[in-house]
Amino acid sequence: MARLGSTTMEYKNILLIKMSSLGDILHTLPFAAALRQRFPQARITWLVHPQFAGFVPDAPVIDEVLYFDKVKFNKLGLLDKLKYFREMKALLHSKHFDLVIDMQGLFKSAVLAAMSGCSNRIGYCEMREGSGLISRAITGTHSKDHVIERYLDVARYLGAKVDTLDDVQFPMPDLSKERASVRSKLAELGWNGGDYVVIVPGARWWTKEWPVEHYVALAQRLVAEGISVVLAGGPDDVPKGRRIAEQCASKLVLDMTGKTSLRELAALIKDCSFYISGDTGPLHFAAALKKPLVAMYGPTKADRTGPYGSKNSEVILSPAACAGCLKKNCQNWHCMHDITPNMVYEIYRKKVKAHG
């Protein structure tokens, strides 16, 4: 494990490995920006799962994107998997990287880092599943802080200057086409062109989800004030979106769950007046875009993975004694129930009033 100092080494061909998930990709954007600032002339390549590639920054931040298709790989038989690995190894070797940075810190990323053929491999402080045996973990002064700061410690080790929050950048893609597409889809659902609040009811862990009935109660309070509510999320969120929309039974509740690509979802959030969700990937779109937001946290820790870099965000931590347990499954799950719709509504009203 390497303690944070700094290195004066110059690199010309860098591989950054961060394959998933959506939130993790977004958390890595400030690191990518700092890496480019430190090595303005280097060729920087990002290895990612295809479904999350839409938020890998364009040039000049990232020069090339490579893909490891996990979905395809998992469907292959043993011989075809070995062939896929051979092809991936040949591809990585052909690039002649002089630095590999494993920001995933898992077995799968360690395998690919080793396959690169590059002997100079580093990663961030939390290297798991044996990945620290392949790449040197870089531990800095922020090893107990937010994950973005833990990532940035690697950039600082490499000599990047990221000293204040003003130095932290989120390079986001141009969403002009997606914004036009989203506006068209909203109009088809009856949107009148005014302001709207985005609510994302899903999360990767079911223990991180705020109860549907709480979302219904909150949405009903908002539409009673004439505020349009747009429900958003991926295909897995469609049943929740449908239930909320049906129980609200209002033309002001527009269900867009499962109707957008990831980039369209970001565009939807970019144009909203306010954002509300639990700990889920789209939350970090809203934080990066500095949208006014409130996020509900139960089993996860907001000081490690909460919205970062924006004074417009506010987190409600569950009052449950067991909050922050990091459990993906729970036999006595009540932490998210303990955050009431009124608690969220009161913060919403306070932040709206503060923003005029």
3-state SS of 236-282? HHHHHHHHHHHHHCCCCEEECCCCCCHHHHHHHHHCCCEEEEECCHH
Burial 128-162 (b: 16+ CB within 10 A, else e): eeebbebbbbbbbebbeebbbbbbbbbbbbbbbeb
User: What mean pLDDT, rounded, does the chain reach?
Assistant: 94
**pLDDT tier for residue 173 given thresholds of 50, 70 and 90:** confident
Residue 5, pLDDT above cutoff 60:
no
3-state class of 317 per DSSP?
strand
Q: What are phi and psi of 131, to 5 degrees?
A: -65, -25
Angstrom distance (rounded) from CA 234 to CA 99:
35
Confidence of residue 322 (pLDDT cuts 50, 70, 90): very high
User: What would the pLDDT profile of 224-282 be if each residue is shown by its tens digit?
Assistant: 999 999 999 999 999 999 999 999 999 999 999 999 999 999 999 999 999 999 999 89
Which secondary-structure segment (H or E) carries 198?
strand 196-200
**What structural domains does the chain harbor?**
2-167 (3.40.50.2000), 176-354 (3.40.50.2000)
Residue 238 contacts residue 272 (beta carbons within 8 Å): no
Convert the pLDDT of each residue in 123-154 to its tens digit. 999 999 999 999 999 999 999 999 999 999 99
What is the DSSP code string of 26-81? HHHHHHHHHHHHH-TTSEEEEEE-GGGGGGSPPTTT-SEEEE--HHHHHHS-HHHH
Torsions phi, psi for 48 (to 5 deg): -150, 155
User: What mean pLDDT do residues 14-34 have?
Assistant: 94
Q: pTM of the prediction? A: 0.86
- pLDDT recorded at residue 59: 92
CA angle 99-309-356, nearest 5°? 155
Spatial separation of the C-alpha atoms in residues 212 and 341, rounded to whole Å: 11
Q: Dump the DSSP string for 106-155.
A: SHHHHHHHHHT--S-EEE-S---TTGGGTSEEEE-TTTTS-HHHHHHHHH
Can you give the pLDDT at residue 353?
85
Q: What is the pLDDT of residue 235?
A: 94
1-9: average pLDDT: 59
Q: How far apart are CA 119 and CA 68, in angstroms?
A: 21
pLDDT beyond 70 at 3: no
Measuring CA to CA, how many Å separate 322 from each of 160, 208, 211, 299, 337? 38, 13, 18, 8, 13
CA-to-CA distance for 119 and 93, rounded, in angstroms? 12
Q: At what angle do helices 78-95 and 107-115 cross, to 10 degrees?
A: 50
Task: Provide mean pLDDT across the span 98-108.
Answer: 97
